[in-house]
Amino acid sequence: MGNEAQAGGYWNTSAELDRPAPEDEIRRLEALRRYNILDSPPEGAFDRIAELAAKFFRVPISTITFVDEERVWFKARYGLDVTAVPRPIGLCSAAILHDDPWLVCNAVTDPRTLNNELVRGELGVRFYLGAPIITHDGYRLGILNVIDMVPRETTAEEVATLQKLAALVLDELELRLSALQTVAHERELAAAERREKDRMTRIARTLQRTLLPPELPVVPGVELAAHHQIGSGDEVSGDFYDMFARPDGSWAVTVGDVSGKGAEAAALTALVRYTLRGAALRPTTPGAVLAEVSAAVELDQREACEPKHCTAVLAFVEQADGHLDVTLTNGGHPPAYVVSPGHADPVGAPGPILGWMVDHSYEETKLRLHPGEVLVFYTDGVTDARRRGDLLGQAGLRQALAEAGSSTAASVIAGVRRLLAELDQPSPDDVAVVAISVPVI
């Protein structure tokens, strides 16, 4: 080896203390660090290569090393306990300066190594053969070496075998890097997915707040109560309710159910709710309002790839002396119930689902609500739920309402919540329930 010099008690092949030119060394260290191999835990593939090299050459020691800025670090070691040595004394520090294998047959007579601490010290290295681990872009990251404590010769075939094993080390590095990059990419995608999910959740919750009244209005002489819950796994419900004052002094109360879930269902819910509000604020009847909403739904869903439908019940409520006069109509929705202690009676004639029969008129039912009676509207998330595996259905809901012995809107809603707690969980469907009663004096 030419250009040999003695410095700091060891021999090297470079006037730069066993280092390439500064620019090359910077790029070499960058190449080394892109593999993220330094200080990584032991890995079976590298350990097996080191063991295979030791057994092929019949030597006591074999290591896979990577040369960092100030140290020679052992990724795999066979027959050696140390994990690293300072770069100035590592034989690998000299070996990485060459593309070809670095061979020392007798370290105590070789001028490159005779003063090296690993040779003169307790370890007593005599034979060293190292094959550089070279990247595809030409950077020498480290060495696969075999070491013996007695001088020995080797053959060109054996040297070529060590080179092939060093190439296997690079292959494992590339596989490892690819796996790390895949994991990092998957983590990045997962993080992006979580961020997008969080963003959509915030949007959904904001949207959901626009589909329900922020709070029930205070109506003198009327008791109102409601319950709403979203089915499992969803942030936006297709079930809605609304209560608002009309210009003539009456109140409109509605409960509806849009098929499906998510943003598309929410969009139709918003259309129904605000079309219904706009129509109900004019001098009109509940039946005429639902007919107008039905036409709007049909027009909106006419070009939809997967058309959705909506059902709703709408009531106009007027206060009278000690009672409430109610006019209600039903667009394909489950029947309302008038509940009194021991009784739950369905009221109202069902009409077609909104958007299905545009020219159809919606029949209206008039009733008088007395103190002790509660008018209950609900969505099919209640009746389609299961209790102990059995469908609750209309019969189950009617029985539960009758047996509750409730006489106020608040007590009916409390009873419905208890009923929902008894249902099989998690419930996949949304639920909306509204109750109206005349306060008992």
Digit-coded pLDDT (tens) for 307-358: 788 999 999 999 888 899 999 999 999 999 999 988 899 998 888 999 887 7
Cα 255–chain centre separation? 33
Residue ranges of domains in the chain: 5-182, 214-437
Q: What are the backbone dihedrals phi and psi of residue 23, each rounded to the nearest 5 degrees, phi first? A: -65, -40
What is this structure's pTM? 0.57
Handedness of CA 51, 55, 57, 58 (dihedral sign): positive
Task: State residue 300's pLDDT score.
Answer: 86
Percent of the chain with pLDDT over 90: 55
Q: What is the rounded distance in angstroms from the CA atom of residue 19 to the CA atom of residue 13?
A: 9
What band does 6 get if pLDDT is binned at 50, 70 and 90? Answer: very low
Residues 308 and 259: beta-carbon distance below 8 Å: yes
Average pLDDT for residues 15-42, to the nearest whole number? 81
Q: Name which of 101-105, 247-251, 400-404 the model is least confident about.
A: 400-404
What average pLDDT does range 81-91 have in this prediction? Answer: 91
Cβ burial 92-103 (10 Å sphere, 16+ → b, else e) = bbbbbbeeebbb
pLDDT in tens, 365-411: 999 999 989 999 999 888 888 888 888 889 989 988 888 777 799 99
pLDDT band for position 206 (cuts 50, 70, 90)? low
Give the pLDDT score at 199. Answer: 72
The average confidence (pLDDT) of the chain is: 87
How far is the C-alpha of 30 from the C-alpha of 413, rounded, in Å? 68
Confidence label for 52 from pLDDT (cuts 50, 70 and 90): very high
Name the residue type at position 75.
K
User: What is the rounded average pLDDT of the residues 14-34?
Assistant: 73
Whether the per-residue pLDDT at 53 is higher than 50: the answer is yes
**Region 125-131 average pLDDT:** 96
**Beta strands 239-245 and 223-229, pairing class:** unpaired
Burial label for 440, CB within 10 Å (0-12, 13-18, 19+), is exposed
CATH 3.40.50.300 for domain 214-437: no
Residue 21: the pLDDT is 64
- The token duo for 127 is 């034979």
pLDDT score of 7 more than 70: no
Residue 2 confidence class, pLDDT cut points 50, 70, 90: very low
Which pLDDT does position 329 carry in this prediction?
96
pLDDT of residue 11: 33
Identify the DSSP state of 249: S
Average pLDDT over residues 86-101: 91
Residue 130 confidence (pLDDT) above 80: yes
Neighbours of 60 (CB within 10 A): 14
- State residue 3's pLDDT score: 32
Do residues 130 and 104 make contact, with C-beta atoms less than 8 angstroms apart? no
Residue 209 confidence class, pLDDT cut points 50, 70, 90 = low
User: E-strand spans in 140-202?
Assistant: 140-148
Beta strands 84-86 and 102-104: pairing type? unpaired
* Stretch 10-21: mean pLDDT: 44
Per-residue pLDDT, 214 = 73
pLDDT at residue 341 in the model: 86
- Residue 431 CB contacts under 8 Å (≥ 6 apart), including other chains: 227, 228, 229, 231, 239, 378, 379, 381, 382, 385, 420
Task: Compute the Cα dihedral for 39, 45, 47, 50 and give only its sign.
Answer: negative
Closest CA to 161 of 72, 47, 55, 35: 55
Across 104-132, b (16+ Cβ under 10 Å) vs e yields: bebbeebebbbebbbbbeebebbbbbbbb
Taking only the tens place, the pLDDT of each residue in 251-273 is 999 999 988 776 677 788 888 98
Cα–Cα distance for residue pair 319/208, rounded to 1 Å: 31
Assess whether pLDDT exceeds 80 at residue 23: no
Do the Cβ atoms of 96 and 84 come closer than 8 Å? no
Radius of gyration of the chain (CA): 41
Question: Which residues sit opposite 256 in a β-bridge?
Answer: 240, 312
Q: Does domain 5-182 have CATH number 3.40.50.720?
A: no
5 vs 153, which has greater pLDDT? 153
Best CA proximity match to 11, nearest among 128, 140, 122, 156: 128
**Residue 203, token pair as written in the block:** 């949007």
Report the amino acid identity of residue 241: Y
